[in-house]
Amino acid sequence: MKFGKRTEFRQTSWDEPEIFDLNETGVQRVGFLTVEDNEVLEREASLMQILGDKYRPPDELGLPQNSEVEVVRHFTRLSQEAYGVDEGPVPLGSCTMKYNPRIAWRVITRSGLAGVHPSSIELGVEQGLLSMLYELQEWFKSITGMDECSLQPPAGASGELAGILMIKEYHKDRGEEREYILVPDSAHGTNPASAAMGRFKVVRIPTGPDGTVDIGSLKAVLDESVAGMMMTNPNTLGLFEHKVLEITKLVHDAGGLLYYDGANLNGILGLARPGDMGFDIVHLNIHKTFSAPHGSGGPGAGVVCAKGELSRYLPGYIVEESRGEFILTRRDRSVGDMQSFYANFPQMVYAYTFILSYGKQGIADVGLNSILATNYFIKKIKGLKGVSIPFSPETPRFHEVVISLKGLVSETGVSAEDVAKYLLDKGVHAPTVYFPLIVEEALMIEFTETETLENVKYYAESLREAIEKAYENPEELKQSPRNTSVTRLDYVRANHPSTLTPSRKYEIMRERRRSSDAA
């Protein structure tokens, strides 16, 4: 089959019930039969005796009573109704998903690593694993230009919070009560949220006409009350902050610190280092940049690194080599633990495998190829009616690009959301919509180095088709998607308290309230 001759996308739709509703009898069973094995019953009776009044029968716990084949088929059907990076590109700008190499999964599952107890790492028993983690720390230091790294934070947002807490403690130890964190208006939403969680007040720094931080606005707010500034580079528009050295000097001269949000590191990986730009603290998203899987709530990993005196405030454990052995240590002014135990270990195996596979030159190719994919995509959509690239449209982008459909919506009534929904019918994942907030009708698109030329081309052609249809038959886009397991939702009904069901427990509680009210 030649590329571009794909069969029309149709996603499976099972109308699958909850696993609790598969077994109408409510009795534990294996296949057609219920469990009546004497040995099983004897073990259950023995456990009941040991636990005494702490024992709770399965029906009281509300657990589903299903056979293995029911469970396997249930989750297989659910997986067929989902879409992930194994099906195609997931170019969610600033939250993109990179292909997760199977070699890392094999290492984790077939080498016994998945069964290692976290305590054995903390006790120093697993010297081989500690040596791997030590080497990974060293690689991250080299990649970021930092002096030390902690692998403990369980997500990028956790790494952000750790960085904010480090800034707070640093100023506190110096007897300074600084209350403001500066955040560019194009920043990721977690930046102001993390700053607020650290009990800082957030000051928004506007974007200049060229799409980078407005230096005049920055100078106007810098004084001794500013604790630091959070930035990412390249920024959310995909533009390199070419005045970054001036920015870091201005903030440092005012006594503040610089925090680097690593969500966009893929665009400069192996090409430039935050530490060389003047940043004091860096967090890395292992799932975005270093190929670990993420989604469905985790598990994630967000390494945090620091320079100079800031290293004393790093969270959790640091692996050190001492007299031929690897040991876990804590820094004297550590902000504490960001989660239990050492780190989300499987994600570190992915990162280790990723870096080891690419090597030093290969890591630089990651950055170059992600830039190439973005700019190839821009070339393919250039000249589309109703579509524009705000802020320095002729300037090459790095890891991602933000396009505006402001013209399209004014001319056809078709919004960025409508176009995103139509893309689902083409068998590709929608981009990030309506972000950053400084761009009207925004679509933010990011292809990583793992996407092929053909995939990027198909995505561009699908977008072009959507735009052309918007002018020919706008109603078709407004009714998309049609070919997915779940078609367009009624957002009011979906979010209404009477229908929103975040969990099984919530559903049971609501049913009990309704029954009580009816009585």
Q: If you average pLDDT over every residue of the chain, what do you get? A: 91
Specify the pLDDT at position 498: 83
Cβ burial, residue 100 (10 Å; 0-12/13-18/19+):
buried
- State the DSSP string of 428-447: S---EES-STTSTTEEEE--
Strand arrangement, sheet containing 148-150: 148-150, 302-306, 281-285, 257-261, 226-231, 180-184, 201-205
pLDDT band for 296, please (50, 70, 90 cuts). low
Question: What pairing do the DSSP bridges indicate for beta strands 33-34 and 29-30?
Answer: antiparallel
CATH class of 104-109+120-358: alpha beta
- CB under 8 Å to 469, separation ≥6 — which residues? 422, 476, 477
Tell whether the model's pLDDT for residue 294 goes beyond 60: yes
In the chain, where are the structural domains located?
19-80, 104-109+120-358
User: Comparing 307 with 156, which gets the higher pLDDT?
Assistant: 307
Instruction: State pLDDT tens for residues 201-259.
Output: 999 999 999 999 999 999 999 999 999 999 999 999 999 999 999 999 999 999 999 99
**71-129 confidence digits (pLDDT tens):** 999 999 999 999 888 888 899 988 878 888 889 888 888 777 777 888 887 777 789 88
Res. 6: pLDDT tops 70: no
Kindly indicate the confidence band of residue 405, based on its pLDDT and cuts at 50, 70 and 90: very high
pLDDT value of position 1: 33
Rounded Cα–Cα distance for residues 8 and 220 (Å): 55
List, for residues 15-40, the tens digit of each pLDDT value: 899 888 888 776 766 665 555 667 76
Structure tokens at 290: 């270093």
3-state secondary structure of 181: strand
**How does residue 195 score in pLDDT terms, banded at 50, 70 and 90?**
very high
What's the pLDDT at 416? Answer: 98
Is pTM, for the whole model, over 0.85? yes
pLDDT at res. 3:
47
Higher pLDDT, 425 or 517: 425
Tell me the β-bridge partners of 445: 92, 401
pLDDT of residue 33: 57
> Residue written as tokens 């709770």?
56
Closest CA to 292 of 78, 83, 85: 85
CA distance 385 to 405: 9
The token duo for 451 is 């996407």
- Strand duo 318-322 + 325-329: pairing: antiparallel
Q: Considering only CA atoms, which of 344, 342, 358 is closest in space to residue 289?
A: 358
